[in-house]
Every structure is written in structure tokens, then in C-alpha cells.
Structure 1
Amino acid sequence: MAELQGRYDVIVIGAGPSGSVAATSLANYGYRVLVLEQQHFPRFSIGESLLPQSMEFLEQAGMLQAVVEVGFQYKNGAAFCRGHEYDYFDFRQKFSEGWGTTFQVQRGRFDKTLADVAEQRGVEIRYGQVVTAVDQCASDIAVEVQPEQGDAYRVSADFLLDGSGFGRVLPRLLNLEKASQLGTRIALFTHIEDNISDKRFDRNKILITVHPENPEIWYWLIPFSDGRASVGVVLPRSLYDDVSMGQQATLQRYIGEGGMLSEILANAVFDTPVRTLGGYSCDVNSLYGERFALLGNAGEFLDPVFSSGVTIALKSATLAAATVHRQLQGLEPDWQNEYAAPLKTGIDTFRVFVEGWYDGRLQDVIFADNKGDAIKAMISSILAGYAWDTRNPYVREPNRLTTLAELCRA
């Protein structure tokens, strides 16, 4: 067995947004926290368009000012295009109270900013560390770690949080994974020098484009503050498997079929290799267990269409840190009712909207002329990340979306 090299109050797997915010929140309570991160920062990641609800979670952890000072691209809404149809949601005109603006970020810089704040608050972060095993004992929980160099070692803690994202360390090691009910899709994406001069494009909003002929194909265009942008297309897996050309040619071919999007990107320079991400929708049997809990994508990831990933990650980090604090204080919290159920409220709201996007209900609402300002404000709140505001009828009863779609079609 590997040598035991230290004991902490809390160990966090992963230094991404969920891990850094959870670790910082726990350090703010005075706990000794160790973060084990497999990669080295800065590193590339997608999930670049934040939602305004995220700002509240960053503010609660005392991390917002550092993010503001980076100078990321300002964002106040989401625009939608289908062929040459166009509509948008201004997040400042929403049903829920709270932040109405946020940022579009290069995740390498954003994630490193959060990790640096965590270290400044006293969190110990070790990069280049792979967690290979978990040992749940009666008095603590230990992990075995393989560093890039040197021998494997063990560290233990009173509690373990998994913020490993798509790495899904604990779901794999503890056999917690289960199949997602969402369809299998693949995303092709890259960063470009966008050279956009088209006045129809608002750099303060993410642009989501629907393929004019196939509503299951959609694109994102996320502008950054330096004249560059993130662009991607999401396809049913079957369509990608039928394509014999290379990844960049495939991405550019589909952009060429994107109507107004193609015109907006007419002068774009594709100067970065195209990446793919497939099979990203995932779920687990439980979000918590004896001395551990799952954060963000390590627990469940829905779909990139509404940029909900980071918001769910930060919500989970905020809830988990508060619940761990109560547990370490000997208060015996109810993890189901204090963590899993509240987190699921927002996830389930987003899930209905993701399903509604792909089956056409939400697209019919978005592109309808007759949805009215009050309805638009309620939908805008959810698109802005306020999926936990149960005063909103579409959070309290997400399936109202079906009735709304029928009304809009009429």
C-alpha cells in the first residue's frame, strides 16, 4: 500500500470551477483543504459562456473581483438564429432578481484565475496528480494518488469532493455511473480569429444558431474580448459517423450551411485545431455517499446548448461547501434534502429545456412573435441561469413549456 503523506479536513479532486469554488468556500470557513488536479493550468476547456446566476456564486465565495479584473468579454444575453430568423433575450429583462450580466471567458484564463484565488486563501493545490483509488474507512476517507513523477502516495481527509468534471473520477472508481436519458451527440469546436464586421452580430451576446433544415443541428458562437471567438457545431452522432472528411472541413462545411451564421463568419480565420467531444451527457446513481459528494459535471452533465454547465457546477460547489461545513461541525446534515434535492431542482429545469430544444418545443417558443413580454422574461430568467427560482412558473412546473409551445404555434 502507498505511503500515507498527510491528512486534511477536505480533499477536492479537480481544480476547475466547481473544485476551486468549493475549496475556497471551505478555506473561508477555516478548513485545511487539498486540491488534486490531473492537468497543469492554464489548460483548454469549453464551457466559455457564463450565465449571470454564476456571478452570485462567485461573489459569495469572494472570488468575483479577481474575475472582473481579468477583462473578459461582457455578456448581457443570448441571441438565436434559424436561417435568417432572429430573436434574442436580454438577461437584464428577466423575471428573477439578481445579476443580469456576466462574461464570456477563455476557460484557460478563467479557471486559472479561480485556482489562483483558492491558493491565495490557503488552499493547497497539487497539479499533475491522478487519483487512482479511493478507500472509505470508518473514521475518514483516503485516496491513492499517482503523481507525474515519483511514487504513488495516499492522503486522507474527513470528506472528499469530486470536481473532476468529465474525468468523473469517483463515478468510475465507485461504480456510480448510469446512462443519460439524453441522446448521443458530438460537438466539433475551435477558436478562431473572427474578423466580424457584420452589424447583425452583437458581441455582448452568445449566438445560438439552428441549422435551417435540421433542427437537431445547432451552433454556438461565443465572442471574446480580443477579437477571437469560440465556434462549434453539435450533431447527432449518426451524422458525424457518416462524414468522411476531416474535423475542420466538417465544421466549416456545417457552418457554411448555417444561414446568417455563415455570412457573419465570412472572414473568419480558422487558425486552431478543431477538437471533438462526444458522449458528454451523463448521470449517476447518487450525488453523495459516505464522506463524499459529487460536484458539477462529475455528477451530471446535460448538454452545452444553454451554457448551464458552469452554473450547475458553481451551484453544486456552493451547496456542497455549506453542507460539508455543517457535517464537520458535527451537525449531521441531511445530504438528500440539503444538497441533492436542491441541486436537482435546477438540473431538472434545465433538462426539460434541453429536451424541449431538441424536440422543437423550445425552438418554437424562441422564434415565435407572440410570446409576450411577461413570458419572455420568465424564459430569459432560466436562460440566465435562475433555474432554482421556484417563484418562476417555468421552474416550479417546467413542463408548462409544452403548453407554451402549443400556444406559440397557434
Structure 2
Amino acid sequence: MVSTDFDVTIIGAGPSGTVAACLLMQHGLRVCLVERDEFPRFSIGESLLPQSMDYLRQANMLDTLLDNADELGFQFKNGAAFFRSGHHTNFNFEEKFTPGPGTTYQVKRAQFDNLLADEAIKQGAEIRFAQQVTNFTTNGQGTCIEVTDLKTQQHSKITARFTLDASGFGRVLPRLLSLEEPSELAQRKAIFTHFKDNINCPKFDRNKILITVHPTMADVWYWLIPFGDSTVSVGVVGETRQIEQADQSLEQTLLKFISEDDNLSTLLADAEIIAQVRTIGGYSSNVKQLYGDRFALLGNAGEFLDPVFSSGVTIALRSAVQACELVVKELNGENIDWQNEYEVPLREGISVFKYFVNAWYDTSLQSVIFFADGQPDVKAMICSILAGYAWDKNNPFVKSTGRGLRILEQICEPETASTI
């Protein structure tokens, strides 16, 4: 056996990286995470899905989240609320079709990622912060990553028997190995920030993310994510041509879009911006393959869809769980078919989310969401996917997503719409 510094190196110390580290250490493996930033640091993806709770449990990290949620201002979440042109509808995740956790949290990612990183260190992982990966090589027996310390500018090499790329939007290995491909999804842009919300509407449910459709542009939408400390994350998403305002600052643009929706502008009438207004664009991505010789891609490093259904963290953690099981087997000498044991099954769930994303923007799924209240069994199945259970093949809308939604479009008539 070739001598290496570690059994596994992980590029990135976000949720997929730290969960992967903890899963691998359960098998006695030596793990080093290399992170470009210093923690805590800002990230998007603040509204978790209930399926993620099971993955955190498998990594022995769930208790840490539960014990610290209140102190860190995380908000209990039990569903999603949707609003479009006067129509409200709610999905209660505890009424979903698929067994498993039905509640989760809405989290400030700086604190959430830092919490998971601290827990990974407690469990035995080594994390090297402020390290930029500049090169990656593999010789069939192990891997070598070259890194630059962003504080000292010193260069070093780290060898391992296997490498996982959990670098998120940094997409380190796809860039270094020319694995990137254009996404099938339209390129969109988001503008967002945090507010001290001062919301006093008695009907507002802080336990749910609120997704609002723009009143005149059906493919433009807003998120409103409440936190437990009377603050909210608010963003608007649309195609770049719809969002960019050449004569306005980001703050002015965001406030203008908020003012265009009566319900959202009423809720946020007394809100105060308390953070930098940020933007991210061209975030949808894809790659030629999710694995290679002695490496695999996790989460956003492989494929990122769209923020509309908050699927990013769930896909990331799912990929960590699936990949780590195979890494352990490979390092124990088993022959692994990464295509059929990792890429194919992981992409099955991603494809379900992708279909939902496309159907949201062509508005066919919007019709289903707003007019499904008269179909409780069907609503429970849709609810399961919105809760993150996109790999449950017992759910007809997972097994045959396109056909199921097309049929559902025909039976969900506007007359059944909820006006709660």
C-alpha cells in the first residue's frame, strides 16, 4: 500500500464535506478537509429540507444541530407557503407521503456551516482553513492535491488514497479537470439580503418558507426565509435580463421588486436591511461525470439546479452519504462500479428536482401547487418531494415525475384554489 498523509482528502468544509468526514471517520479513516475560506463565512442555501435531518443523524451531527438551534437563531420549519396573485396555499411537511422526518430548520449558513465544521473537528477530522487548491493529480493508487496557504502564500501537497470534492460553487475539480458542461437550465440571477423584519401580521407563519410569484412575471419569484431572531432572508430570482437594472443599485433593485408585490411589501413594510445586498448569477451547472479515478464530486461541485425548492443542501448531503459508503468499500479493496452505484442513483433524485424546477418556471407546477388542495393524496406525494424525498420510488411522482405532473395539471382546476 502506498503511504499517504490521509485516507481521504475533502475539498471544502461546507455541509457535504463535514458530513462526509464524519461518515468516513465512523470507519476509522483519517480525513483532512481543505477549505478556501475562514469560518464563519456567508453562504446561500438557508432553508433546509426535512430529508437532510436523516443524513445529519447518520453522521452523528443531528444532536449538535438540535442543541444549538435556538441559541444560533435557527427557525423551526414544518413546511412551505406559496403566494400568487391573491392565492395562498400551504404544504405541511408532516403530512407528506414518504416516511421520515417532517420538520427541519431555516438556518443562517455562516453559523450552521461553522457548527458542523466544529463538530467534524470534535469527531476527529483535521480542517485546514484559508487553503486554495491549485492542482490535483492521481496515479491510480492515490491522489495529490497542491494547495496555497492564503495567509502565508506557502505551497504544500497533501496525499491521500481518495479525494472528495465538496467545494460547492467553487467547483474545484470540475475546473481543474475540465469536467464542466453547460446546464440545461436557463441562467438566472438572484439578489438577496437579510432584514430585521418587524413583521406583525398575525397570519404570517414563521415556521414556513414563503415563496411568492411575481404578480406580472410568472417566472420571477421571491423567497422569504424567517429566522428565529426576528430576521429574515429575502431574495428575488429571475432571468438576468429580468433582474438587472442598469440605473439602480442592488439594494434599489431588490426593494423595487419587493414593492411590486402587495403581500410581500405589506409584510415587509417596517423591515430594515441589516446586511450587505448580494447577487449571484449563472449558478446552474452540470458536469460530464460525477466521479473519476480515486475521486468523486459531491453536491454543488457536481450539479446545482436552482434555489426555488431549496434542494441544494439535500442533494449535497445525499451525495455525501452515497459516496462515502462506496469510498469505504473501495478503500477496503472492493471493486466499485461508480457509474451504476453512485452517479445513476444520485441523478435519479436530481432529475426529479430538475423536472420540478423546469415545471415551476413554465408555470405548470405552479398550477399544481396552487390548485392541489382538493386532492389530499396527491398533495401528500407532491409534499414529499418538496420535503426532499426525491429518491422515494414508492412515490408515483418520483417513479414517473413527468407523466404524473402532466396528469395532475389536467385535474387541478383553478376553481379548487385555496383562498385561505
Instruction: Tell me, yes or no, if the aligned pair for 1:365 and 1:371 is still in contact at 8 Å.
Output: no
SS at match of 1:92: helix
How much has 1:261 moved relative to structure 2?
1.2
Counterpart Cα distance in 2 of 1:352 and 1:62: 32
Instruction: Tell me, yes or no, if the aligned pair for 1:82 and 1:259 is still in contact at 8 Å.
Output: no
- Note the alpha carbon deviations across 1:180-221, whole angstroms, 9 max, x for none: 010111000001100111122100000000001111110000
1:27 to 25, 28, 31: 25
Instruction: Tell me, yes or no, if the aligned pair for 2:299 and 2:319 is still in contact at 8 Å.
Output: yes
| 1:353 to 2:337 alignment | no
Counterpart Cα distance in 2 of 1:362 and 1:226: 33
**Equivalent residue, structure 1, for 2:91:** 89
**Equivalent residue, structure 1, for 2:409:** 405
Counterpart Cα distance in 2 of 1:260 and 1:294: 41
| 1:373 to 2:376 alignment | yes
How much has 1:6 moved relative to structure 2?
6.1
Runs of 4+ in 1 over 6 A off after TM superposition: none
Instruction: Tell me, yes or no, if the aligned pair for 1:189 and 1:232 is still in contact at 8 Å.
Output: yes
Which letter maps to 2:178? N
SS at match of 1:380: helix
Instruction: Report which stretch shifted further, 280-289 or 264-273.
Output: 264-273
SS at match of 1:401: helix
Counterpart Cα distance in 2 of 1:267 and 1:283: 40
Counterpart Cα distance in 2 of 1:189 and 1:370: 31
SS at match of 1:65: helix
After TM superposition, the structure 1 = structure 2 runs for residues 296-335 of structure 1, keeping only pairs within 5 Å, are 296-335=299-338
Counterpart Cα distance in 2 of 1:401 and 1:261: 28
How much has 1:371 moved relative to structure 2?
4.2
Instruction: Tell me, yes or no, if the aligned pair for 2:11 and 2:164 is still in contact at 8 Å.
Output: yes
CA, structure 1 residues 144+369, in 2 after alignment: closer, same or farther (shift >3 Å)?
Answer: closer
Counterpart Cα distance in 1 of 2:159 and 2:222: 44
- Note the alpha carbon deviations across 1:27-69, whole angstroms, 9 max, x for none: 1110000100000111111100000000000001100000111
How much has 1:240 moved relative to structure 2?
2.5
Instruction: Report which stretch shifted further, 257-266 or 89-98.
Output: 257-266
1:46 to 21, 44, 47: 44
Counterpart Cα distance in 1 of 2:20 and 2:187: 30
- Note the alpha carbon deviations across 1:202-253, whole angstroms, 9 max, x for none: 0000000000111111000000000111000002111233542000000000
CA, structure 1 residues 74+63, in 2 after alignment: closer, same or farther (shift >3 Å)?
Answer: same
SS at match of 2:323: helix
SS at match of 1:206: strand
SS at match of 1:314: helix
How much has 1:361 moved relative to structure 2?
0.7
Instruction: Tell me, yes or no, if the aligned pair for 1:77 and 1:205 is still in contact at 8 Å.
Output: yes
| 1:122 to 2:128 alignment | no
SS at match of 1:139: coil
Which letter maps to 1:269? E
Counterpart Cα distance in 2 of 1:271 and 1:153: 39
Identical-pair percentage = 53
- Note the alpha carbon deviations across 1:103-156, whole angstroms, 9 max, x for none: 000001110111111111111000000000011113211011001214211111
Report the TM-score when normalising by structure 2: 0.95
**Equivalent residue, structure 1, for 2:6:** 8
Instruction: Tell me, yes or no, if the aligned pair for 2:194 and 2:233 is still in contact at 8 Å.
Output: yes
**Equivalent residue, structure 1, for 2:398:** 395
- Structure 1: runs of 5+ lacking an equivalent: none
How much has 1:337 moved relative to structure 2?
1.7
| 1:207 to 2:205 alignment | no
Aligned pair count? 406
**Equivalent residue, structure 2, for 1:224:** 227
- Structure 2: runs of 5+ lacking an equivalent: 415-420
Counterpart Cα distance in 2 of 1:243 and 1:375: 44
Counterpart Cα distance in 2 of 1:79 and 1:98: 21
Instruction: Tell me, yes or no, if the aligned pair for 2:210 and 2:225 is still in contact at 8 Å.
Output: yes
Report the TM-score when normalising by structure 1: 0.97
After TM superposition, the structure 1 = structure 2 runs for residues 134-283 of structure 1, keeping only pairs within 5 Å, are 134-148=136-150, 149-283=152-286
SS at match of 2:235: strand
After TM superposition, the structure 1 = structure 2 runs for residues 73-88 of structure 1, keeping only pairs within 5 Å, are 73-88=75-90
- Note the alpha carbon deviations across 1:272-304, whole angstroms, 9 max, x for none: 220000000000000000000000000000000
Which letter maps to 1:111? D
